[in-house]
Structure formats: structure tokens, C-alpha cells
Structure 1
């Protein structure tokens, strides 16, 4: 069973709406990145299933998070099958993120009380995801659909909660566009973790950047 139940996880995303999306096969580096994000105020971390060592790294960082980042939820992304979902849920995943919608994955997550964020890029896909039980739908790729798409779908589906991934930049301008459009949360990947930062190991700099971005998002939330 997940450490964070779905209702708590969904509220966690609303309260701390910036989610790192990260993969690296170096366990030590990944731990440092996670701790820097946590120290900066992030409370949900998506590790992606994008390499041969994904399960090995995930299994190593889970106990690290529980000991050193007790208020952080650890999720697994890039999941396509129920078998993959089961493997990572057994390893401790608090939430499962997909680039697509697989009903079997949704059913398995719901049956095991694990938050499920399926990926969608059309209104029909979004509606299907909600009908299958998703309380928050991942909009992907964000750089293709744009903030205008999110704002438009809020018309026929005003209560829809979405997390956008892809095309979200760690800048005030980008965050303002997305949160003004009505997103609940955003996922940020390579732009938050440029190669230069990984090479220099300036994790304090990452923490400071994250803290500033979260503070800015709070100002956007109060303006709604």
C-alpha cells in the first residue's frame, strides 16, 4: 500500500504544485537531486521508468526518501502496463504517471489505493480518463497543446484538475501562463535539471531556484 493515500496525494499536488520529472541511473546523484528538491519545498517527485536501471534506482531511493524526506511522495512515471505498475507499486510508488491511458493500469492503481495520473492530449481522452477514475489528468505534451488548450477545456469541464508535463519552463513567465490557464500542477524535467547543474553538483542552487519558483506560484494561486 502506498505511503500517501490518493486523496492526500491529490491535495499534496494542489498545495505543492511543482513536480520534478527525473531519471538518472546514478543513485547517489538522484538522491542529491531529490534532497535538493525537498529542501527547496517540493513534496512530490516523479522518477521515470526510462532506463534499464529504473527499478534498481527506484528501489534504492525509496528508503532514502522515507528516512530523509518524510513528507515527500515518490511516484513512478512512463508506465504503460499493469505489470509495470505492479512492479513499482510493490517497490513503494505513491503514485503512477502515464503518457497514455491504459484502463488496466488505472484499475490496478484504484484497487490498490494508489494515485493514478493518466496522460491525455484531447478532450475525449481527458473525459475517458475521468470516467476510469482519474481525479487528476496529466496533459501531455504540454508544449504541443499549450496553455490555451487547458483554458479552453475548463469551459465544458470547469471542475477538471490537470497536471501539465512537457513544455513547462522553470520561469515566472511560463508558470504564469500555465497557472493562469487553470492547471492544478505542473511537471518539470530537463529544464529544471540542466546538464550543467548535474555536472557542477550545485544542489544548493537547485534548492534556491525551487524555493523561488514555489513562492512565485503561491502568488499566482492567491490571485485566482
Structure 2
């Protein structure tokens, strides 16, 4: 059962903006990465369904994370059908992310009151996602077309739309500023957050510093966007 409601997940996403998109078949490695970005300010984490028995990995990971990172909303990505979504919901996923729009996934998540973020690349898909209860739509793949102008185009007739571009988002202040300036609610960032040293080992200090820089920037950006009156 999900720990966080749909609104709680979306609130965390909008506040912290950075959503790591991650998969590793080693539970301990995944947990170490998750703890690093959590300590750097991340509060929403997407683990992806990218291998056989990923549901078993996810179940073990989320049990440990619930204890060590109680404020972290943990969801599952790369979900393409409702049956798979149901398995991960049963294992405690706080939200479901898809690379595509599938109305059966939307119906399932709405029925179970689970946050659902479908992949959309047309205005019609975005509108259909809204009708099925999607609070945030994933603009994917963001690096395959002019996603920034697409988002501007969506928000002109539908300014209430909350979006999460994923695919090619760079972990730099310059790139993040471009997305925030067009009104995204959050961004999904994948392999660009994984930093290794010269020997090929995971450089957790560098990962922490990178993510901390981004979350600190987001906090200052949000303060400028919504100053205290």
C-alpha cells in the first residue's frame, strides 16, 4: 500500500523539482544511491522497471527505504500495462510513471488512488490524461523534439497543466533554469546523475554535491517565484 497520497506526492515533486530516474539490479547499490540523493534534498524517487524480477528488487528496496528515508516518496517507472502497474502497487509504490499513455493504467491508478504520471507528446494525450486523473503528465522523450516550446504551447490553452519533462534533462543550473522558466512542475533526470571516479567506482561525494547544488538552486528559484508577502 502506498505511504503517500496523490496530492502528497505531487506536492513533494513541485517543492523539490528533482526526480531521479534510476535502476540498478543491486539492492544495496540502489539503496546507497537513494540515500545519497535523499540527503542532498530529493524527496521523490523513481525506480524503473528495467529488468526481470524488478518487482522483487523494488519490494526489497522500498522496505528498507521506508525505514531509513521516511519522507521519501518512491514510485516505479517504465510501466507500460495495467497488470504490471498492479504488481508494483501491491508492493507499495507511491506512484506509477509510464513512457506512454495507456488508459487502463490510468483507470487502475485512479481506482486505487495512486498518483499516475503518463508519458505524453501531444495535446490530446495531455487532455485525455487529465480526464483520467493524472495530476502531472510526463513529457517524453523530451530530447526527441522541441519539448520546451511544446510545453509553452500546452500551457497557453491549458495553463493548469503540470508537466515533468524526462529524457535528456541535464543536471546543470543553466538547463534547469530553462525548464523552470517555462513552468514545469518537476524534471526527471536519469543516468546524468550517476557519477563515477577514474576507477569506475560510484563517486557518492560528487553525486551528493551535484544534487545538493540543484536542490539548493531550486529552493532559491521557488522563493523568487513565490516570495513571502
Structure 2: give runs of 5+ residues left out of the alignment: none
1:81 matched residue in structure 2: 81
TM-score by length of 2: 0.93
CA contact (8 A) 1:43 1:72 kept: yes
Q: Which stretch shifts more, 32-41 or 139-148?
A: 139-148
Count of residues in correspondence between the two structures: 224
Cα shift at 1:194? 4.1
Matched residues in 2 for 1:13 and 1:222: separation? 16
2:93 matched residue in structure 1: 93
CA contact (8 A) 2:196 2:203 kept: no
Matched residues in 2 for 1:23 and 1:102: separation? 22
CA contact (8 A) 1:2 1:113 kept: no
1:152–1:221: structure 2 CA closer, same or farther, 3 Å change rule? farther
Q: Deviations over 1:162-201 (max 9, x none)?
A: 1110111000111011110110000000111145599322
Matched residues in 2 for 1:6 and 1:182: separation? 20
Structure 1: give runs of 5+ residues left out of the alignment: none
2:142 matched residue in structure 1: 142
Matched residues in 1 for 2:168 and 2:202: separation? 24
- What CA RMSD, in Å, does the superposition of the two structures yield over aligned residues? 1.5
Matched residues in 2 for 1:151 and 1:220: separation? 19
Q: Secondary structure at the match of 2:171?
A: coil
Q: Deviations over 1:40-64 (max 9, x none)?
A: 0100110000111311211111111
2:11 matched residue in structure 1: 11
1:181 matched residue in structure 2: 182
| Consecutive aligned runs of 4 or more in structure 1 exceeding 6 Å deviation | none
1:198–1:214: structure 2 CA closer, same or farther, 3 Å change rule? farther
TM-score by length of 1: 0.95
1:170 matched residue in structure 2: 171
Q: Which stretch shifts more, 200-209 or 35-44?
A: 200-209
1:100–1:220: structure 2 CA closer, same or farther, 3 Å change rule? same
CA contact (8 A) 1:46 1:75 kept: yes
Matched residues in 1 for 2:5 and 2:49: separation? 22
